[in-house]
Structure 1
Amino acid sequence: MDLAYNRSEGPIPELFGDLTSLEVLNLSKNKISGPIPTSMEKLVYLRELNLSFNKLEGEIPSGGIFTSFIAESFMGNELLCGLPNLQVQPCKVSKPRTEHKSRKKILLIVIVFPLSIALTIAITLPLKSKLIECGKTCTVLSNDSVLLSQATLRRFSYSELLQATDNFAETT
Structure 2
Amino acid sequence: MSSLVTFGRCTIKLIDTLNEQIGRGTSWLTLILVIVSVTVVILRYCFNIGSIAAQESISYMHALIFMLGTAYTLKHNAHVRVDIFYHRFNEKTQGWVDFLGTLFLLIPVCLFIIVSSWDYVADSWAIQESSRNSGGLPAVYLLKSTIIVMAGLLLLQAISLAIKSLFSALGISLNTAS
TM over 0.5: no
Shorter-chain TM-score category?
under 0.3
TM-score by length of 2: 0.20
Larger strand proportion, structure 1 or 2? 1
TM-score by length of 1: 0.21
- Structure with the higher helix share, 1 or 2: 2
